[in-house]
Chains A and B, each alone.
Chain A
Amino acid sequence: MAEVVLSGLSKRFGMTTAVDDVSMTIPDGAFVVLLGPTGAGKTTTLRLIAGLERPDAGSVSIGKNDVGEYSPAQRNVAMVFQQYSLYPHMTVRENLAFPLKSPLINAPEDEIERRVSEVSSALQIAHKLDNKATALSGGEMQRVSIGRALVRRPDIFLMDEPLSSLDAKLRADLRLELKRIQADLGATLLYVTHDQIEAMTMATHIGVLEEGRLVQFGSPREIYENPSSIYVATRLGQPRINTLPAALFGGAPAGAELIGLRPEHIRQGEGRDAKVVRVEHLGDQTRLHLSLEGHALITLTDPHTPLASGDTIAIRPDNPLYFAADGARILQGA
């Protein structure tokens, strides 16, 4: 395992800049999650670290070595591809054993067998070991793809939405399993996801990408509680943060155009009157859709709330976030 440092990394494809001057240090043993919508440059960042793409500018170093001239095979990185990329003519067992049979690793037979059986039982695919890779469901293929990385002990694991095809229960199981394996091995891991729960529960650090640029890097708490812009603030939180004109409520700092309200920033029962549009019972949470002077906002409420659509409820911001017109965060009292 090793520390991975990206400095000034850029990659263009034709006219589009996929990764734009990204600098980031992934500490040894860290679990770093990259967040961002489609096209933000998450996958390209992984591919640059793996060596599958050459950067136009900047450098990647793994464990203090500049790996710019190294091929993917020389880099000792393990990658889980979003499209699985299993070897279709091999069985699951052969797929899992494939990386260990590299002359660069040259693991003995009994070691290969031990690791394959370990990983396949952790990923709940032990009963499929002798199946052809093409005779699996999407979720099973994805687990084989994760397994093919986990049998190795690389400097860094790169995972591109590895749990996206799994059903909710399996996803929850594997989230714990991955976190456990990462902690046991002390592995360094860079992980791309859209899933907020994965990001919040697994990550030691989160990096938020916007159009190829790394706009914020920090602990999950920091990213959630102290976002640097509206863009970052909307990456995390269910329901999403509400953004309204700052003038709706008093007390905005100078330059603040917008106020950002997460459910915990909204105190109910005092302040301005808002109309209840709809009450959504989601089971684990109950969402209140409100309308305040024509502005829609969503917050949470008690599961046994007596409120129904058409009612009115008073709300007041409580320690909210303020943003300038361009979306940049404005710190209160600053």
Chain B
Amino acid sequence: MTDETTSRSPAVAPAGFARKYRGLSDRAVAWLFIGPSIFLLLAINIFPLIWTIRLSLTNYRANRTNADVDWVGLRNYERILTDPDIWNSMQATAHFLIWTLVLQVLIGFGLAYLINKKFKGNDLWTTIIVLPMMLSPAVVGNFWTFLYQPQIGLFNYVVAFLSGVDPSSFSMIGDVNLAPWAIVIVDTWMWTPFVMLICLAGLRSIPDSIYEAAECDRASRWRQFWTITVPMTLPFLMLAVLFRGIENFKMFDLVVQLTGGGPGSITELTSINLKREAFEKWRTGYASAYAVILFVTVFGLASIYVKALNKVKER
């Protein structure tokens, strides 16, 4: 049977090739396909992770490769967890994370709810609203420093116009109290559209007939919103929060461009702080321990969260 096929169609595959590969089982073919990606994953994700954990237990410094490397055990971890600078960084990150999520979810869902109504030109509006998210974070950070200029900045001008305070009396980026909010505002401006898009997908997944049934069941608009719209969009909303949460936990570019972590270190998020330890102070071992702690934190939070998400989806 096999010989017959090869002799009848020698042009399809050279006899040598066919003989060599015909014997592969399905399993072998599967490995052939996923092998390269597994190799890549191991090389660029798993290996560096293990290497980082190893380095975190030493006093290695990447700028002094000739120096002796000592095994220091858990001392790096001990020092990090008792370092007040790092706790400040964590607080800055928590403030940034919580407020960006709260604002983006509320505004994003609100916009999605409005844009989901049938009106003329809602596709055009969607496109316009989505624009900020297509820009480069570096560009956004850069031009928001202009918008935040006390003398010529549009942001200060608008706030002054609405509230009557002198525009040059406050500096969003320069003031210790305002800077944490300055980065929240810019990130919200840039990424609310993303949350809106995901919420929109959720809202569009609810068939009209469900609302019609609720309408016949004498549910008010308010009740329809809370008993149908919200619970049926919740899985989508939670997914958006997961994406945004992970993104903002490692936020770097936008904030570096905007405030550089300042004034002082008030907007120095953990990722900025970490980069400073690793590539300005060159404390590689110490920074590795820092990175491991951040990794465990984000991994732990994300796993708890995904469990909750699955529970919501099952409902």
Residues of A within 8 A of B (CB): 50-52, 71-73, 76-79, 81, 83, 85-89, 98-99, 102-105, 132, 148
Q: Do residues B213 and A81 form an inter-chain contact, with CB atoms below 8 A?
A: yes
Identify 16 residue pairs between A and B in the complex whose beta-carbon atoms are under 8 Å apart, listed by A's number: A51-B215, A52-B212, A73-B215, A73-B216, A76-B218, A79-B216, A81-B213, A83-B209, A86-B213, A87-B214, A98-B217, A98-B227, A102-B220, A103-B223, A105-B218, A148-B213
What residues on B are CB-neighbors of A104 within 8 Å? Answer: 218
What residues on A are CB-neighbors of B216 within 8 Å? Answer: 50, 52, 72-73, 77-79
Grouping DSSP codes into helix (H, G, I), strand (E, B) and loop, the B interface class, with mixed when no group exceeds half, is: helix
Grouping DSSP codes into helix (H, G, I), strand (E, B) and loop, the A interface class, with mixed when no group exceeds half, is: loop
What residues on A are CB-neighbors of B215 within 8 Å? Answer: 51-52, 71-73
What residues on B are CB-neighbors of A86 within 8 Å? Answer: 213
Q: Does B232 reach chain A (CB closer than 8 Å)?
A: yes
What residues on B are CB-neighbors of A77 within 8 Å? Answer: 216
Complex CA gap A225/B288 in Å reads: 91
Q: Do residues A99 and B231 form an inter-chain contact, with CB atoms below 8 A?
A: no
Q: Do residues A87 and B228 form an inter-chain contact, with CB atoms below 8 A?
A: yes
Q: Do residues A73 and B209 form an inter-chain contact, with CB atoms below 8 A?
A: no
- Residue of B at shortest CB range from A104? B218
Q: Does B219 reach chain A (CB closer than 8 Å)?
A: yes
Q: Does B307 reach chain A (CB closer than 8 Å)?
A: no
- Residue of A at shortest CB range from B222? A103
What residues on A are CB-neighbors of B223 within 8 Å? Answer: 102-103
Query: Could you say which interface size class chain B belongs to?
Result: 10 to 19
Q: Do residues A87 and B210 form an inter-chain contact, with CB atoms below 8 A?
A: yes
Q: Scoring B residues 187 to 224 as 1 if CB is less than 8 Å from chain A, else 0, what string do you get? A: 00000000000000000000101101111111110010
Complex CA gap A148/B228 in Å reads: 16
* Distance in Å: Cβ of B99 to nearest Cβ of chain A: 29
Q: Do residues A89 and B232 form an inter-chain contact, with CB atoms below 8 A?
A: yes
Q: Do residues A73 and B219 form an inter-chain contact, with CB atoms below 8 A?
A: yes
Q: Do residues B218 and A85 form an inter-chain contact, with CB atoms below 8 A?
A: no
- Residue of A at shortest CB range from B224? A73
What residues on A are CB-neighbors of B214 within 8 Å? Answer: 87, 98
Within 8 A of A (CB), among B156-215: 207, 209-210, 212-215
Partner among B212, B217, B228, B315 whose Cβ is within 8 Å of the Cβ of A99: B217
What residues on A are CB-neighbors of B228 within 8 Å? Answer: 87
Complex CA gap A52/B213 in Å reads: 10
- Residue of B at shortest CB range from A74? B218
Complex CA gap A148/B212 in Å reads: 13
Partner among B212, B219, B232, B315 whose Cβ is within 8 Å of the Cβ of A85: B212
- Residue of B at shortest CB range from A79? B216
What residues on B are CB-neighbors of A81 within 8 Å? Answer: 209, 212-213
Partner among A51, A85, A103 whose Cβ is within 8 Å of the Cβ of B210: A85
Q: Do residues B212 and A88 form an inter-chain contact, with CB atoms below 8 A?
A: no
What residues on B are CB-neighbors of A52 within 8 Å? Answer: 212, 215-216
Supply 13 further A-B pairs (C-beta < 8 A) apart from A78-B216, A79-B216: A76-B218, A83-B209, A85-B207, A87-B210, A89-B232, A89-B315, A99-B218, A102-B217, A102-B218, A102-B223, A104-B218, A132-B315, A148-B217
Complex CA gap A88/B206 in Å reads: 10
* Distance in Å: Cβ of A49 to nearest Cβ of chain B: 11
What residues on B are CB-neighbors of A89 within 8 Å? Answer: 231-232, 315
Complex CA gap A104/B216 in Å reads: 12
Q: Do residues B232 and A103 form an inter-chain contact, with CB atoms below 8 A?
A: no
Complex CA gap A105/B315 in Å reads: 27
Partner among B213, B220, B227 whose Cβ is within 8 Å of the Cβ of A103: B220
What residues on A are CB-neighbors of B209 within 8 Å? Answer: 81, 83, 85
Partner among A73, A78, A88, A98 whose Cβ is within 8 Å of the Cβ of B220: A73
Interface centre among B218, B227, B315 (most CB of A within 10 A): B218
Complex CA gap A98/B210 in Å reads: 12
Interface centre among A51, A85, A88, A99 (most CB of B within 10 A): A85
Q: Do residues A87 and B315 form an inter-chain contact, with CB atoms below 8 A?
A: no
Shortest 5 CB-CB distances between A and B: which pairs?
Answer: A99-B217, A102-B218, A85-B213, A72-B215, A85-B209
What residues on A are CB-neighbors of B231 within 8 Å? Answer: 89
Complex CA gap A99/B216 in Å reads: 8
* Distance in Å: Cβ of A317 to nearest Cβ of chain B: 48
* Distance in Å: Cβ of A329 to nearest Cβ of chain B: 38
* Distance in Å: Cβ of B214 to nearest Cβ of chain A: 8
Within 8 A of A (CB), among B19-75: none
Q: Do residues B219 and A88 form an inter-chain contact, with CB atoms below 8 A?
A: no
What residues on B are CB-neighbors of A83 within 8 Å? Answer: 209
What residues on A are CB-neighbors of B217 within 8 Å? Answer: 78, 98-99, 102, 148
- Residue of B at shortest CB range from A77? B216
* Distance in Å: Cβ of A205 to nearest Cβ of chain B: 23
What residues on A are CB-neighbors of B218 within 8 Å? Answer: 72-73, 76, 99, 102, 104-105
Complex CA gap A50/B207 in Å reads: 18
Complex CA gap A79/B217 in Å reads: 8
What residues on B are CB-neighbors of A132 within 8 Å? Answer: 315
* Distance in Å: Cβ of B219 to nearest Cβ of chain A: 6
What residues on B are CB-neighbors of A105 within 8 Å? Answer: 218
